[in-house]
Structure 1
Amino acid sequence: MAHVVSKSEMRHVSVEELRQMASDCRESIWAQAQAIGREPKIYLHWTAGHYGQFWDDYHVQIDEDGEIYVYGELDEILSHTWRRNTGAIGVTLLCGYQANTSDLGPEPPTAAQIEGMARAIEALADGLWLTICKEFVATHGECADNETNDWCHEDYGPRTTCERWDLEYLQTDESPAFNPWAEDGSRGGDVLRGKANWYHNQRG
């Protein structure tokens, strides 16, 4: 069960520090994943909690202002994504309190958080030698419905039971509304991967 942790238990890091942390843990994370017949993954979440409220089940946590924090070590196995935690990094936005599929509530993802998550994705994927695509970088909603070219459990995402639908939409101009069947790039995961690839391309 997830528990709230204090900010003092978190490590505030820059994008480049996060990139180095991922690089330092690359061999360990790949070994974990390959031991169960997988490749490493990066799973994207929101906490459904408050801005500034940190948790012990996500490695990388992005606050309202877009600042990046790390809990523990990136190769620790934390309980962020059901049946998918080994060899995987959980990245979350600290937001989503009272969110539902028609309104993301009083604490939706901020523009700074969205950009912070995109930068974190780019740094982690670079450090782990992963391509930024749905197979390796997916929202909890996407992987809950097994959209990631693997099959780890029965579907429980936004296309089925909607038990988990983290980041299915961002309530922004790019991703305005809940539509898990959209193919126009407006799903939250598509927007976040697109932004992360943009940051990747800017680095050359």
Structure 2
Amino acid sequence: MSEVLPRSAMVKVTLSDLKKKATAVYWSIWNQARSVGRDVKLYLHWTAGRYGQFWDDYHIQIDKAGDIYMPAGVNLDDILYGTWHRNTGSIAITLLGCFDATPNGLGSEPPTAAQIETMSQVVCVLANAFDLTIDKARVMTHGEAGDNEDGVWCHEPYGPKSTVERWDLEFLGTPESPVYDPYGKKGYRRGGDVIRGKANWYRKAGIKGVYDPR
């Protein structure tokens, strides 16, 4: 069961910190992933809690203003419990908020622009550190993972294209991803596509003070 953590149990980190932490566990997390026949994966979540409310099952947690936190004592190769049957060799990255989100609207604490940009930068930094292509095979929302959209059948589907038990970041409330549209029938982009697109943009453009463009 997920447990709420007090602010005192969290450590604020920077993108540069994450780069160093990823480098330190490179072989450890790759060995974990290989042990289950997969590449390292980055899973993108929202907590379905409040802004400023931290949890124990995510490695990286991004608050309303885009600040980044990790639970004290947690390393990026620790196996946490954010993504059903997919936690070995993976990192759980989450936005804080969306406690009252439904497929009809993101509620009173939706993803903020700062959170979306920071999550995209975090994906870029970690993908570079772990030598990952930024695509759906390696970077997925919890909703996409729930429906096994990477082609890896880890469990029965439970995402937005099936039971809708988990649909984290299926849409972002932004102009390019304004509504719940998992099959693209309304012509909008899914949240995972937006975040991967932004992360690939940062990969090409670089992030000042963190790494140079590729």
Question: TM-score interval w.r.t. the shorter chain?
Answer: over 0.9
Matched, 1:192 2:174: no
Q: Which moved more, 1:146-155 or 1:135-144?
A: 146-155
Pick the aligned partner of 1:135 from 134, 137, 161. 137
**Which whole-Å deviations, capped at 9, do the CAs of 1:135-157 have from their partners, x for residues lacking one?**
00000000101101211011110
CA distance in 1, matches of 2:139, 2:24: 19
Q: Is the 8 A contact 2:32 2:89 kept in 1?
A: yes
Q: Matches of residues 70-149 of structure 1 in structure 2 within 5 Å?
A: 70-71=70-71, 72-149=74-151
Q: Kindly state the Cα deviation for residue 185 of structure 1 after the two structures are TM-superposed.
A: 6.1
Matched, 1:29 2:32: no
Matched, 1:48 2:51: no
CA distance in 2, matches of 1:49, 1:192: 21
Q: TM-score, normalised by structure 2?
A: 0.93
- Pairs aligned (count): 204
Q: Is the 8 A contact 1:21 1:127 kept in 2?
A: no
**Which whole-Å deviations, capped at 9, do the CAs of 1:42-64 have from their partners, x for residues lacking one?**
00000000000000000000000
Q: CA RMSD in A?
A: 1.1
Q: Kindly state the Cα deviation for residue 98 of structure 1 after the two structures are TM-superposed.
A: 0.8
Q: Is the 8 A contact 2:43 2:93 kept in 1?
A: yes
Supply the AA of the counterpart residue of 1:51: Y
Q: Is the 8 A contact 1:22 1:124 kept in 2?
A: yes
Pick the aligned partner of 2:184 from 182, 185, 189. 182
Supply the AA of the counterpart residue of 2:47: T
Give the unaligned 5+ runs of structure 2: 207-212
Q: Kindly state the Cα deviation for residue 6 of structure 1 after the two structures are TM-superposed.
A: 1.3
